[in-house]
Chains A and B, each alone.
Chain A
């Protein structure tokens, strides 16, 4: 599969670890990545608030460049914010012909909305890519309990992002399972992480992050996986402040490392901590991964194997019972002798 990557501003800043780990996994899983030529800012949350035209034109210009260079090769947007904005421009252009023409007029170049826009998780949902990743997992994270966190932009609004259910997404779980880790069921996978409000109103946003971390730990998770630089930063960076506040209140700290799902894949595929960007995590995450790799391999039994095991156990029980009866039959003879003596 070939993708035209739209890096966006977070790729080399807050999402550096995500880019590094994703490109490591891509190299080893046979995913070719081109870069969108002369891409520009996707508008983040400011663009579309300014005006609808600006909200559509900024991402559309990059998409048009990608289309001119690579035709209908899907555009990959790792950051959830870029993904959401690029999807909006694409869906608006595809939905109505005259809107597409208006966008073309705004950006001053042809744009037929041929190429699709996908997020970081999408490539690994392709069966053959999943196969190659599973084959390349040399150091599986056996039984590592992972809580997959989606945040908002990946799955909402429903009309734009169509790749998973917006209330109960399961796609990241499927990808994390490739590493041998075990995703857990938990309730806050699509709750808000506070996004950029942590800057303007930190006191109001702290409880949001706290509740997510607490919910993950309550569900028995040892680590949280994310697919968006902003969610990752909010959960990872704020842990220290939250734990300080909790200690002041006399509550137990919430120590749980937060990784990009690509970091887990990269590490399981043999990447060193540096290559997988794990050294960049605020909450140190290398020790947990190292420990997970040493755990005993949990082999999942297929139904036939389970049945065979059941029959074998039943036979062993029957044999044991017979042996016990034989022993009991022999015992009275012995008992009688003792009684005589």
Chain B
């Protein structure tokens, strides 16, 4: 017989307003195994907690039911109260939700009170079957893994490494830096993007605790918070980085010169052995296996001949390593939407002078293909009239993506400013739906661009056609004046939507976390836990979580680093005690639970058990408490119920069902 204490909370008037708490307490006193029932104005307040502790001592209670707000709110708090202020096991506690799911949704006391009584009866029945549970320590590997080497990954890596923990950055491309080195200026301060990102990149390379793995991808992630076993595949670079001095002789001599440079968004060409841009980190070239004649046709080998240190190695192979990490940060960044496939009305990619925002950044960038002069890709002349079209792909549920990509309004204004700055007498038209400038002196920057003469026209461009004289006729509407507008432009820049990079879905399955409907990683809580995920030990930073600009990305990177440091500085962390448990006597070793477990936490093991005074060796299932997350799928697959879930055991739920059904 257990002695249960029922504590009904008024919650000010939140509960007492529409539920007769005294009646609930009276009804609770009649329930089986209830030794005490009482009410309090604010159970979660310090005074309320003391009230609980005193009553437990006074009435020698051994289980507690608190009828108050949702367990998702204060269950953890009440458990702490039991653990710290009483000698009760914190898991002999049940919370009946009589606020969010009762008093707040039923206005009439006549309806709310009986329902509250039912909910309390259910909680009491379950509490009677609760068993003592004990957490245990899981060791934490003091090492962090950052997937993605853009500014988010770099910033997170630097912060974690500065806190004294070794970090590995896994970057898919041949250099870290991501999109920032491609940009020319950054808003709103117009300081040079490369000048503020390349120092951080070299700081990363120089940092003793940061290991950079480029041209690498994460293939498999097993384990759990504090103990992730991560398999990383480092693709062959065909250059031995220890010997290579980065002199660049091979790049100059490589005969294969006609490969479109991804870094310059296809507006210039590169060689098969290449370094994407001068300040690349690591500042050594790699050989592009798909285009190198030696590796595809077996003829050439010029780079090996000219290399002073003999660093070229055509027989290089992928290296696959598996290492253990305590925490993982997803900083995989974004890609621009492929507008050519979606927008036939803008020429579908056939007009060379209709370019994307990133391509314009490369044009206007001093280290770009045109050394910073804004020239038309078609004939290299300087455009006199430029049209910028915003929200291409963004906020377009039919053809593109439904969401706003946040940063294009600002970098659209920046492009307009740069154009008017570099092309004397240049006329710039910006077609927009809204101008969103939600940041510190963002709007001032936009106003400044307006005053410089950028013509903002509210309306979307409906069609771009090319006249035989090369002019791009942009047909649109000025919704404010209601007129149809036609602009003969020399060049059009489309500010396209940010979308998740290719391969994000596969990575989400590898690290076992969820993607939102648009394909970005889902954060644990949009407002309260934006850099965490539902998977313990897995954090998010930057545009991997959703479109954002550089200031927010760096802020999130710092936040994610803080979370990782908060985890790694602990010697060990408490495990979740509400995990599955197998009763050996009932288990026939059928293995139904083994296939079902998403965390492969259950295995069949050979055990010698004492059964009716005989030693018998049998295969039974065994749960690895570290891996088990307590979902309970195995407990239903187990027909005799040998596998039971601690905290939500079969007996407790059955009594809870009967408590309600038979009342």
Point out residues on A near B: beta carbons under 8 Å.
158, 165-169, 185-188, 215, 218-220
Say yes or no: B344 contacts A168, CB within 8 Å: yes
A219 touches B350 (CB 8 A): no
Q: Give the chain A neighbours of B468 by CB distance below 8 A.
A: 218-220
Tell me, rounded to whole Å, the shortest Cβ–Cβ distance linking A122 to chain B. 19
CB distance from B230 to the nearest CB of A (A): 43
**Contact of A167 with B344 in the complex, beta carbons under 8 Å:** yes
In chain B, positions 116-151 with a C-beta closer than 8 Å to chain A are none
Give Cα distance in the complex from A167 to B350, angstroms. Answer: 13
16 A–B contacts, CB within 8 A, in A order: A158-B398, A165-B344, A167-B343, A167-B345, A167-B348, A168-B345, A168-B347, A168-B348, A169-B344, A185-B350, A187-B463, A187-B465, A187-B473, A218-B467, A219-B468, A220-B468
Proximity bits, B335-355, A CB within 8 Å = 1, else 0: 000000001110110100000
Least Cβ distance of B155 to chain A in Å? Answer: 41
**Complex Cα spacing A233 to B491, Å:** 36
Q: B466 interface residue, CB < 8 Å from A? A: yes
The 8 closest A-B pairs by CB, nearest first: A187-B465, A168-B344, A167-B344, A167-B345, A168-B348, A218-B468, A165-B344, A218-B467
Q: In whole angstroms, what is the CA distance A249 to B496 when docked? A: 44
B465 touches A215 (CB 8 A): yes
Contacts of B350 in A (CB 8 A): 185
Q: What residues on B are CB-neighbors of A165 within 8 Å?
A: 344
What residues of A have a CB within 8 angstroms of the CB of B473 in the complex? 187
Which residues of B are at the interface with A, using a C-beta cutoff of 8 A? Answer: 343-345, 347-348, 350, 398, 463, 465-468, 473
Complex CA–CA separation, A168 to B341 (angstroms): 10
**A186 x B348 contact (CB < 8 A):** no
Q: What residues of B have a CB within 8 angstroms of the CB of A166 in the complex?
A: 344
**Which chain A residues border B343 with CB–CB below 8 Å?**
167
Total number of residue pairs linking A and B with CB closer than 8 Å: 27
Q: Closest B-chain residue to A191, C-beta based?
A: B463
> In the complex, A185→B352 CA distance in Å?
14
Interface centre among A166, A168, A186, A188 (most CB of B within 10 A): A168
Contact of B465 among A158, A169, A188, A220 (CB under 8 A): A188
Nearest residue, chain A, Cβ from B341: A165
The interface residues of chain A, by DSSP majority, are classed as loop
Task: State the Cβ distance, B338 to closest chain A Cβ, in Å.
Answer: 14
- Who on chain A is nearest to B469 by CB? A218
Query: A152: shortest Cβ distance to chain B, in Å?
Result: 14
Contact B465 A186 (CB under 8 A): yes
Known: A168-B344, A187-B473, A188-B465. 9 other contacts (CB 8 A): A167-B463, A168-B348, A169-B344, A185-B350, A185-B466, A186-B465, A215-B465, A218-B468, A220-B468
Closest-CB distance, B546 to chain A (whole angstroms): 28
Q: In the complex, what residues of B have CB within 8 A of residue A188's CB? A: 465
Write out the residue numbers on chain A whose beta carbons fall within 8 Å of the beta carbon of B467: 187, 218
- Rounded to whole Å, the gap between the CB of A269 and the closest CB of chain B is 30
Are B348 and A187 touching (Cβ within 8 A)? no
Residues of B within 8 A of A167 (CB): 343-345, 348, 463
The complex places the Cα of A188 from the Cα of B344 at a distance, in Å, of: 12
Q: List chain A residues, Cβ under 8 A from B348.
A: 167-168
**Distance between B492 CB and nearest chain A CB, rounded to angstroms:** 13
B466 touching A187, Cβ below 8 Å: yes
Q: How far is the CA of A185 from the CA of B465 in the complex (A)?
A: 9
Q: Which residues of B contact A218 (CB under 8 A)?
A: 467-468
Task: Give Cα distance in the complex from A169 to B344, angstroms.
Answer: 8
Cα of A332 to Cα of B348 in the assembled complex, Å:
60
Q: Please measure, in the bound complex, the distance between the C-alpha atom of A220 and the C-alpha atom of B348, giving whole angstroms.
A: 21
- A41 to B254 Cα, complex, angstroms: 69
Query: Which residues does chain A contribute within 8 Å of B465, judged by CB atoms?
Result: 186-188, 215
In chain A, what residue has the closest Cβ to B464? A187
| Chain A residue at smallest Cβ distance from B346 | A167
Residue of B nearest to A220 (CB): B468
Cβ of B486 to closest chain A Cβ, rounded Å: 11
Q: Please name all residues of chain B whose beta carbon is closer than 8 Å to the beta carbon of A185 when the two chains form the complex.
A: 350, 466
- Rounded to whole Å, the gap between the CB of B646 and the closest CB of chain A is 48
**Chain A neighbourhood of B463, CB < 8 A:** 167, 187
> A188 to B345, alpha carbons, bound, how many Å?
10
What residues of B have a CB within 8 angstroms of the CB of A158 in the complex? Answer: 398
Name the CB-closest residue of A to B351.
A185
Q: Which B residue sits closest to A166, measured CB to CB?
A: B344
CA of A205 to CA of B463, assembled, Å: 20
B residues in contact with A186, CB < 8 Å: 465
Chain A proximity of B357: nearest CB distance (Å): 21
Q: How far is the CB of A157 from chain B (nearest CB, A)?
A: 11
In angstroms, Cα B465 to Cα A220, docked, is 14
Distance of A166 Cα from B467 Cα, bound (Å): 21
CB distance from A164 to the nearest CB of B (A): 10
- Complex: how many Å from CA A188 to CA B468? 13
Q: Which residues of A contact B347 (CB under 8 A)?
A: 168
Q: By CB atoms of chain B within 10 A, which of A166, A167, A169, A215 has the most? A: A167
> With A and B bound together, what is the CA distance between A169 and B345 in angstroms?
10
Q: Which residues of B contact A168 (CB under 8 A)?
A: 344-345, 347-348
A31 to chain B, nearest CB (A): 29
* Alpha-carbon distance A127/B463, docked complex (angstroms): 32
Which residue of A is nearest B465, CB measured? A187
A215 to B347, CA, bound (A): 16
Once the chains are docked, how many angstroms separate the CA of A188 from the CA of B475? 12
Q: How far is the CA of A56 from the CA of B57 in the complex (A)?
A: 78
B residues near A215, Cβ cutoff 8 Å: 465
CA distance A219 to B350 in the complex (A): 15
* Shortest CB distance A217–B (Å): 9
Q: How far is the CA of A165 from the CA of B343 in the complex (A)?
A: 10
Shortest A27–chain B CB gap in Å is 35
> In the assembled complex, how far is the CB of residue B93 from the closest CB belonging to chain A, in whole angstroms?
51
Chain A min CB distance to B86 (Å) = 61
CB distance from A189 to the nearest CB of B (A): 9
Rounded to whole Å, the gap between the CB of A310 and the closest CB of chain B is: 14
Nearest chain B residue, comparing its CB with the CB of A219: B468
CB nearest to A167 among chain B residues: B344
CA distance A187 to B461 in the complex (A): 14
- Best-surrounded residue of B345, B348, B398, B465 (most CB of chain A within 10 A): B465
B255, chain A: closest CB distance, angstroms: 16
**Measured between alpha carbons, how far is A186 from B465 in the docked complex, in Å?**
7
Closest to A189 in B: B465
**Residue among B350, B398, B467 facing the most chain A CB atoms (10 A cut-off):** B467
Chain A residues whose C-beta falls within 8 Å of the C-beta of B345 in the assembled complex? 167-168
Instruction: Considering the complex, give the chain A residue whose CB is closest to the CB of B349.
Output: A168
Residue of A nearest to B467 (CB): A218
Residues of B with C-beta under 8 A to A187: 463, 465-467, 473
* Residues of the A chain whose Cβ atoms lie less than 8 Å from the Cβ of B466: 185, 187
Q: In the complex, what distance in Å separates the CA atom of A220 from the CA atom of B467?
A: 11
Complex: chain B residue closest to A159, CB-CB: B398
- Closest-CB distance, A161 to chain B (whole angstroms): 14
**Chain A residue, CB-CB nearest to B348:** A168
- A164 (CB) vs chain B CBs: closest residue: B344
Alpha-carbon distance A215/B473, docked complex (angstroms) = 12
In the assembled complex, the CB of B537 is this many whole angstroms from the nearest CB of chain A, namely 45
State in angstroms the CA–CA spacing of A335 and B65 once bound together. Answer: 119
Q: Considering the chains assembled together, what is the distance between the CA atoms of A165 and B473 in angstroms?
A: 21
CA distance in complex: A186, B343 (Å): 16
Measured in the bound complex, the distance between the Cα atoms of B345 and A30 in whole Å is 36
- State in angstroms the CA–CA spacing of A186 and B466 once bound together: 7
Cα A52 to Cα B347 in complex, Å, equals 36
Provide the residues of chain B in CB contact with A169, threshold 8 Å.
344
For B344, the closest partner residue in chain A by CB is: A168
CA distance A305 to B382 in the complex (A): 37
Q: In whole angstroms, how far apart are the Cα atoms of A188 and B465 in the complex? A: 8
The docked-state distance in angstroms from the alpha carbon of A166 to that of B466 is 18
Q: How far is the CA of A166 from the CA of B463 in the complex (A)?
A: 12
> Which A residue's beta carbon lies closest to that of B343?
A167
